[in-house]
Copies of this chain bind each other. A is one copy, B any other.
Amino acid sequence: MANPTLLILAGDGIGPEVMAQVTRVIDWFGAKRDLAFDVENDLVGGAAYDAHGTPLHDDTMARALEVDAVLLGAVGGPKYDDLDFSVKPERGLLRLRKEMDLFSNLRPAQCFDALADFSSLKKDVVAGLDIMIVRELTSGVYFGEPRGIFEEGNERVGINTQRYTESEIDRVARSAFELAKRRGNKVCSMEKANVMESGILWREVVQRVHDADYPEVELSHMYADNGAMQLVRAPKQFDVILTDNLFGDILSDCAAMLTGSLGMLPSASLGAPNAEGRPKALYEPVHGSAPDIAGQGKANPIACMLSFAMALRYSFDQGDEATRLEAAVEKVLADGARTADLMGPDDGAPISTTEMGDAILAAL
C-alpha cells in the first residue's frame, strides 16, 4: 500500500523552526514504527507571498485537496502588515480552511500537570483542566458577504456579514456531540442569541440536533460574554464548548491562555469524511508566528508536535502512536525540559527549540 501523504506548510515566523523538529519526529515514526509518510513541503502566508505574490499558490491549494493531511506552522508578521487585505498572509490560511471545507476546528485547552504553576490563574482553578473547543471554521463573519469598505454619503463604512445556514450549524453541532460522547458527555454552546438573530438560529439548530440524535449528551447554552467570564472564573465546569467562527477565535485564545501553555496547544481542522471515512484535515499549533522571537531558536515546538499527534489520531487512525508521542512530551516536561515560554524570569536558562526536539526524540 502507498504511504499516506502529508503536505507541510511551515509558513512564517517561528513556523519553519518548530516544523523542523516535527519533521524529525515524523522521520522517527517512519524509521522506528513502520509508519512512513510521503512528505511534501510547500509555502503559505508571507513566505508564499514573497515567492509568488500570493499567500497561497493555486498549485499548493490543489495539493492540499489531494493529500491525506496538511500540517501548518504559522502565518503572518509585521513585514506584511501593510499588504493589501487580499494578499495578507492570513488569506492563505483562510483559503485553505474554506476550500478544504474544514468546518470543524478542534482546539483542546489542556493544562499540563508539570506546567500548572505557570498559568496566570491559581493552580487549583486550572490544574487538570481539559476542555475541547469546537469552533465553526468556514462560515460566519469570516466569509459572509457583503463585506468591504464602501463610500456612503461623504464618508466610508466598513461592513462584514455574520451569516449561518441551518446546515452549517447542523454539521458542526454534530461533530461537537460526537466528540462529547468520547469525552465528558457535555456540550455548552455559546452565542449571543439575546442580541443577534444568527445566534437565535444557532441555538435552535443545536438544540434540534441534540434532541433528535444526541439526547444522551448533556447540552447547555450560554451567551458568549458570560462564556468568557465563566472560562476565567471556573473553566473546569466545561467539557466541550461549541461556538461560531468569531466567538471561537476569541474564546479559544482565552481558554488557551488559561492553561499557561500556549506554546503547547495543538489544533485540528476537519472536514466531512471521504469515502474511506477519512476527513479532509489541517493541523496547526494554536500559537501564531511570534515574529518577536522568530529565527532565534527560542520557540517551543511542542504545540506543533502535538498537532502532528492529532493528525495521527484523526487522519491516520493511529491513536496508539498519537498517545506514544503525547506521552513522550509529558515525560520531557515532567523531567524539567523547558523552552523560554515555559519559564519565569527567575527560572534559570531555557533550552532551545532543537534541544526540545532532541529531548522528545530521546523520550520516544
Contacts and interface: CB of A to CB of B under 8 A. Distances in A.
A253 interface: yes
A266 interface: no
Given A120-B121, A120-B233, A232-B258, A197 B160 contact: yes
Interface residues of A, number: 61
Interface stretch (A242-250, A302-310, A312-320, A321-329): A242-250
A3 to B, nearest CB: 36
Given A194-B90, A232-B120, A249-B192, A163 B159 contact: yes
**Binding site of A, secondary structure by majority: helix, strand, loop or mixed?**
helix
Contacts of A158: 162-164, 196-202
One complex includes copies of this chain to the number of 2
A28 interface: no
A183 interface: no
A66 interface: no
A232 B229 contact: no
A59 interface: no
A232 B144 CA distance: 30
A226 B76 CA distance: 14
A225 to B, nearest CB: 4
A134 to B, nearest CB: 16
A39 to B, nearest CB: 29
Contacts of A212: none
A61 interface: no
Interface string A190-232: 0010111111111000000000000000000000111011011
A229 B228 CA distance: 11
B257 A195 contact: no
A74 to B, nearest CB: 13
Contacts of A152: 165
Nearest to A80: B194
Nearest to A193: B85
B94 A246 contact: no
Interface string A137-179: 0000110100111001001111111111111000000000000
Contacts of A256: 229
Contacts of A196: 141-142, 147, 158, 160
24 contacts: A76-B194, A85-B197, A88-B194, A120-B125, A120-B234, A147-B196, A149-B197, A156-B165, A157-B165, A157-B166, A158-B163, A158-B199, A158-B200, A158-B202, A159-B163, A160-B161, A160-B162, A161-B161, A224-B250, A225-B253, A228-B251, A229-B262, A231-B254, A233-B257
Given A120-B233, A157-B201, A158-B163, 12 more contacts: A120-B122, A122-B122, A141-B195, A152-B165, A156-B165, A159-B198, A195-B249, A226-B253, A226-B288, A228-B228, A229-B254, A231-B254
